[in-house]
Amino acid sequence: MSAELQSKDILAKAEALRNSLSSGFRDEIVKSLYTEAEHIAKRAVKTAAEKRYDLDQKIDRLVTSPWTGLPIMLLLLTVIIWLTVSGANVVSGWIAVVLFGIGDYGRALFNQIGMPWWITGFIWDGVYLGLAWVVSVMLPPMMIFFPAFTFMEDLGYLPRVAFNLDWLFKKSGAHGKQSLTMAMGFGCNAAGVIATRVIDSPRERLIAILTNNFVPCNGRFPTLIMLATVFVAAAFPPALTSFIAAGTVVGVVLIGVFFTFLASWILSKTLLKGEASAFTLELPPYRRPNVSRILYTSIIDRTIFVLWRAMQTAAPAGAIIWIMANVSIGDSNLARATADWLNPFGLLLGLDGVILLAYIIAIPANEIVVPTMMMVYMGAGMMINGPTSNNEIFDLLVNGNGWTMLTAVNLMLFALLHNPCATTIMTIYKETKSYKWATLSVVMTLGTAFVVTFLTASFARLMGWA
Amino acid sequence: MTNTKTVLPTEHCETCPAFTQLEQMGIKVGDFDRVIALAGNPNTGKSTLFNALTGLKQHTGNWPGKTVTRAEGGFEFNKIRYKLVDLPGTYSLLSASQDEEVARDFILFGQPSCTIVVTDATSLERNLNLVMQVMEITEHVVVAVNLMDEAKRKGLEVDARSLSRDLGIPAIPITARTGDGIHTLLGAVADVIEGTIEIKPLRINGTPEFQKAVNELVPMIEQVAPGIPNARWLAIRLLDGDARVQNALTSGELADIVSRQQRVDIQFSKKMSVEGRQ
C-alpha cells in the first residue's frame, strides 16, 4: 500500500517540477542530443578527399523522376512477368508430362494388383491428380517470379516504388507506405496484410489491409498466366505469344492496382474518413544483391512454403471432387449437379457453374482454382489423363465446355477481384481483432468481383461479342 | 555464386580459433544465460546480423520497416548461451509509434543483459541519435558500426575508436553481410556484461534547472523500486509526461522488473550484483 502511495507522490512531484521548468526544456534536450551526435560523427568520419562518383544518386534521379519513374516501373514489371510467362510455359509442360505419366503408371499398377475401383479412383484420380495439377501449374511460375521479386527487394528498388506511387495513394486518402504493403501482396496477400504494421495511423492501416487483396498474389498469378497464354495470346502469331501473354497479365495487374486506389479512395471518403498523413521514407542505398540468399529466400521461404500450403489444400480438394464426381444423382453426379445448379448465376457473370464450384472448393487457397476446375471438367467428360499442353487445355475448355474469350477474360477479372483466401481472412481478423473488418474484406472484394464481371458480361453480350 | 550462403562461417573463420566459440542455435532459445537486444535505425542490417549470429533465415529485405515484430533466436559464444531479440528499426525512442514502443518497452522492461545498437557507417550522425537515447535507458550498450564495406565504397573512413572514446562504450566496426568483425563484437558484448571493461556512457545533462528536477525525482523512484538501474531515464520520462512510464510506475511493473533482475543477477554474475547495482 505504501508503495502505491509513493508512486502517486512521484507523479505529483513530476507534475509540479514539469510546470516549474521553462516550457522549452524538451526541445533543449533533443537539440543538445542532436548537436552532440553531430560532433561525435564529425570526429569519427573522414570523407576521402576526391569527389566521389555517386552512382546511387544518378540512378535515383532516373527511377524516381516524375517522367521516367512510372514507365521504368512498368517496364520492370513487364520484364519480370515476361520472364515468368515464357520460362514457366516450357517447364510446366515437362512437369505435367512426368507427373501425369506417374499417375497413369500408378493407376495401371493398382488395376493390375486388383485394387477395388474406388480406391484406385480416390487415390489416383482424386488426391494424386489434385496434387499433380497444383505442382505443374504453380511451381514453374513461382520458381521464376519469386527470385526475380526477391532480387528487386534486395537491390532496394521497393522503396523507390513507394516513392513513385506516393502521390497516388495520397490522392486516394491512403498512406504512401501502402505501396510497400501492396508490393508484398504480390507475393502473398496474408504477408501483405501483416506488413501493414509499418503504417502507424490505424485508419490508413485499415485501408491498406482491406484493399491488399486487389493485387494478385502468387497463388493467383498461375491462373492469370495460364489464361493469358491459352486464350488471349493464342489469337496471335506464335512468335508474339509470350509478349502478348505478359502484356495481358500486366494489364490485369494494373486493373488490380486501379481497384486498390479506387477502393482506398471510396473507403477514405466513407467508412474510414480522414486525411492522408505525412511520412518520411528513407531511400536506402542500392545494395549488391546476395545471389545465394535470394535463391534461399525465394525458393525455401516463399516457393516451398506457398507450394506446400497449396498441396495441403489440393489433396483434400482432389478427394472432394472425386467423391462428388462419383456420387450419382439420377443420370448425373453430385459435382455436375452442383455445377448445373450454379450455372445460371455463373453465366450471368460471364463464367459458368463449374468455375463457381471450383472457387467454392478453393476457398482455403486460391492456388487450386484452376486444378479444381480442370478436374471437374475432366471428371464430367470422362477424361482420365491430364492435358499436358496448352492446345489440349484450349480444346478441353473451348470445344468440350463451351468457353469463349469472355469466359477467359471474366475469369481473370474474377480471380483478380474475388474474396481473399481463408489464410488472408484469418490474418485480417488477427491483425484487426474484429469480425466486422474481416467480414467487410470479404463482402467488399466479392461484391466488386460480382459487379465487375456482371457488367463486362452484359456489355459484351450487348455488343454481340459473346 | 558467392560463398556466403550462411554468411557465417566463411572459410577464414574455420581456421581461426575463435570459430569454435560461436555456435548458431537457431530458435532453440528455451534455455539461455543472457539476453541481447538488437536495436538500430531502419535498414541498417539488424536482421542480417541476427541471421548471421543465430543461423536463422529471418527474411531480410532492403527496405525500411521490414521487421515489424521482434524476432528471437539463440547462439552460443564462449560456452555461454545467448538469446538474441531483433527489435523493429526505429529512428528514436521518444515518440509513440507502434515500432518505437515495441523497441523501447523491450529495452526498458525486458531488461536485456546488453543492447547492441546497429548503426549505418554511411550515415552515422543520424544513427547516433538513437544510440544516445538507448544509452539514456541502459548502460550496457555496444555499438555495431555496420555496413563498413559500403562506407569504404563511398569513400568514407570511419574511426570506431574515436566513436568509442566519445560515447564511452565499445564501438565495433562490422560488415554483417560477410561476417567481418562479428567475433570482436561478441567479445565486446561479453566484456560489457561481465564488467571486464570500463564503460562511461555519455549523458546529456540539459539545463541546470532540468538537472536539478531530475535529481529530485531519482531518489524517489529508487525508493519505490529499489535497485532500479535506470531511475534517471525514468525521471526524465516522467518529467516529459510519458503515459507508458507513469502507468508502469503506478501498476507496480517497475518493482516487478527489479525483483526479476535481481534473480537474474544472482544466477549469472555475482560480480555484477555487487558492482553494478549500487
The 10s digit of each residue's pLDDT in A189-242 is 887 888 787 787 888 889 999 999 999 887 788 788 888 888 888 778 878 888
Please give the pLDDT value at position A220.
Answer: 84
Give dist(CA A466, CA B23) in Å, integer.
66
Per-range mean pLDDT, top range of A185-189, A417-421, B118-122: B118-122
Neighbour tally for A167: CB within 10 Å: 11
pLDDT of residue A257: 92
Distance CA B216, CA B221 (A): 9
Residue B272's pLDDT is what?
32
Closest residue in B to A152 (Cα–Cα): B62
Taking the CA of residue B255 and the nearest CA in chain A, the distance in Å comes to 9
Note whether A137 and A99 are within 8 A (CB).
no
Least confident of A44-53, A378-387, B123-132: A378-387
What is the distance in angstroms between the Cα of A405 and the nearest Cα belonging to chain B?
A: 40
**Gap from B129 CA to chain A (nearest CA, Å):** 6
A61 within a domain of the structure (yes/no): no
How many Cβ atoms are within 10 Å of A132's Cβ, its own excluded? 23
Nearest chain B residue (CA) to A25: B210
Closest chain A CA to residue B245 = A11
B162: left (phi over 0), alpha (psi -120 to 50) or beta: alpha
Note whether A32 contacts B204, CB cutoff 8 Å.
yes
Whether chain B has a CB inside 8 Å of the CB on A27: the answer is no
Question: Cα–Cα distance between B13 and B2 in angstroms, integer?
Answer: 16
Question: Could B252 and A21 be called an inter-chain contact, meaning their C-beta atoms sit closer than 8 Å?
Answer: no
pLDDT band at A50 (very low <50, low <70, confident <90, very high): low
Q: Which three cell numbers stand for residue B66?
A: 521490414
Q: How far is B68 from chain A (nearest CA, A)?
A: 6
- Beta-carbon contacts of A439 under 8 Å, excluding residues fewer than 6 positions away, are none
| Domain locations along chain B | 11-194, 208-275
Taking one residue from A and the other from B, the number of pairs with CB-CB distance under 8 angstroms is 181
CA B162 to chain CA centroid, Å, is 20
**Is pLDDT at A46 greater than 50 in this prediction?**
yes
B-chain residues near A26 (CB < 8 A) = 240
B250 neighbourhood in chain A, CB within 8 Å: 4, 7-8, 11
Q: What is the pLDDT of residues B83-137, one digit of tens each?
A: 888 888 887 777 656 677 778 888 877 778 999 999 999 888 888 988 988 998 8
Neighboring chain B residues of A32 at a CB cutoff of 8 Å: 204, 206
Cβ distance of B163 and A40 shorter than 8 Å: yes
What is the Cα gyration radius of chain A? Answer: 27
With a cut of 80, say whether residue A174 has pLDDT above it: yes
Answer whether residue A37 shows pLDDT above 80.
Answer: yes
| Mean pLDDT along residues A294-314 | 76
Name the residue range of residue A174's domain: 68-462
- Which chain B residues have a beta carbon less than 8 Å from that of A28? 206-207, 210
- pLDDT, residue B171, reads 94
* Cα–Cα distance, A460 to A465 (Å, whole number): 5
Interface predicted TM-score of the whole assembly (ipTM), two decimals: 0.76
Q: Determine the pLDDT at residue B165.
A: 92
Q: What is the pLDDT of residues A69-104, one digit of tens each?
A: 889 988 998 898 888 888 887 787 788 888 888 988
Q: Which residues of A touch B133 (CB under 8 A)?
A: 33
- Does A164 touch chain B if contact means CB atoms closer than 8 Å? no
Residues of chain B with pLDDT under 50: 1-9, 14-15, 17-20, 265-278
Instruction: Please indicate whether, in this complex, the C-beta atoms of B220 and A6 are within 8 angstroms of each other.
Output: yes
SS3 per-residue string spanning chain B: CCCCCCCCCCHHHHCCHHHHHEEEEECCCCCCCEEEEEEECCCCCHHHHHHHHHCCCCCCCCCCCCCCCCEEEEEEECCEEEEEEECCCCCCCCCCCHHHHHHHHHHHHCCCCEEEEEEEHHHHHHHHHHHHHHHHHCCCEEEEEECHHHHHHCCEEECHHHHHHHHCCCEEECECCCCECHHHHHHHHHHHHHCCCCCCCCCCCCCHHHHHHHHHHHHHHHHHCCCCCCHHHHHHHHHCCCHHHHHHHHHCHHHHHHHHHHHHHHHHCHHHHHHCCC
For residue A159, say if its preceding peptide bond is cis, omega within 30 degrees of 0. no
User: How far is the first Cα of chain A from the last one, in angstroms, to the nearest whole number?
Assistant: 81
Q: Identify all chain B residues contacting A296, using CB atoms and an 8 Å cutoff.
A: 5, 57
pLDDT at B95: 60
CB B64 within 8 A of CB A153: no
> Do residues B49 and B146 make contact, with C-beta atoms less than 8 angstroms apart?
yes
Quote the pLDDT of residue B164: 92
The alpha carbon of residue A268 and the mean position of all alpha carbons in its chain are separated, in whole angstroms, by 23
Using a CB-CB cut-off of 8 Å, the residues of chain B touching A2 are none
Domain annotation covers residue A159:
yes
pLDDT at A48 over 70: no
Q: Are B207 and B237 in contact (CB under 8 A)?
A: no
Average pLDDT over residues A4-30: 76
Is residue A32 one of the residues assigned to a domain?
no
C-alpha distances in angstroms, B144 versus A342, B111, B170? 62, 19, 8
The per-residue pLDDT for B190 is 92
**How many whole angstroms separate alpha carbon A298 and alpha carbon A309?**
15
Q: For residues A448 and A458, what is the distance between their CA atoms, to the nearest angstrom?
A: 15
Q: Does residue A370 lie within any of the structural domains?
A: yes
Q: How far, in whole angstroms, is CA A109 from its chain's centroid? A: 39
The residue type at A75: L
| CB environment A306-319: b (16+ within 10 A), e (fewer) | bbebbbebbbebbb
CA distance B63 to chain A (A): 6
Residues of A in contact with B154 (CB under 8 A): 52
Alpha carbons A69 and A74: distance in angstroms, whole number: 9
To the nearest whole Å, the CA of A432 is away from the closest chain B CA by 14
Instruction: Decide if pLDDT at A249 tops 70.
Output: yes
Inter-residue contact A221 to A84 (CB < 8 Å): yes
Q: Is residue A452 scored above 90 in pLDDT?
A: yes
Find chain B residues with C-beta within 8 A of A197's C-beta. 68-69, 98-99
Buried b (16+ CB within 10 A) or exposed e, B2-34: eebebbbbeeebeeeeeeebbebbeeebeebbb
Domains of chain A: total: 1
Of all residues in chain B, the one with the smallest CA distance to A34 is B129
> Which residue is closest to A48 within chain B, CA to CA?
B155
pLDDT over 90, % of chain A: 15
For A44, the enclosing helix (H) or strand (E) is helix A25-44
Q: Does A40 touch chain B (CB under 8 A)?
A: yes
Give the Cβ contact number of residue A271 at 10 Å.
14
Least confident of A275-289, A350-364, A443-457, B213-227: A275-289
Pairing mode, strands B156-158 and A45-47: antiparallel
Contact state of B5 with A293 under an 8 Å Cβ cutoff: yes
Query: What pLDDT sits at residue B1?
Result: 37
* Mean pLDDT over the full length of chain A: 82
Q: At B118, give phi and psi (nearest 5°).
A: -85, 125
- For residue A338, the SS3 value is helix
pLDDT at B9: 47
List the single residue in A33, A52, A159 with the smallest CB-CB distance to B204. A33
CB contact under 8 A, B177 and A34: no
For B118, how many CA atoms within 13 A lie in the half-sphere containing its CB?
Answer: 31
Model confidence at A284: pLDDT above 80 = no
> Are A45 and B157 a contacting pair at CB < 8 A?
yes
Give yes or no for a contact between A127 and A280, defined as CB atoms under 8 angstroms apart: no
Burial group, residue B223, by CB count within 10 angstroms (0-12, 13-18, 19+):
middle
Please check whether residue B103 is in contact with residue B39, taking contact to mean a CB–CB distance below 8 angstroms: yes
- pLDDT for A12 beyond 80: yes
pLDDT digits (tens, 9 = 90+) for A119-170: 888 888 888 888 887 888 778 887 888 888 888 878 888 888 888 888 888 8
For domain B11-194, is the CATH number 3.40.50.300? yes
Q: Which of A47, A153, A154 sits opposite B156 (nearest CB)?
A: A47
- pTM for the structure as a whole: 0.66
Spatial distance between the Cα atoms of B158 and B141, rounded to a whole number of angstroms: 19
pLDDT for res B266: 47
CB contact under 8 A, A10 and B238: yes
Q: Are B100 and A194 in contact (CB under 8 A)?
A: no
The pLDDT of residue A449 is 92
Amino acid at position B191, single letter: D
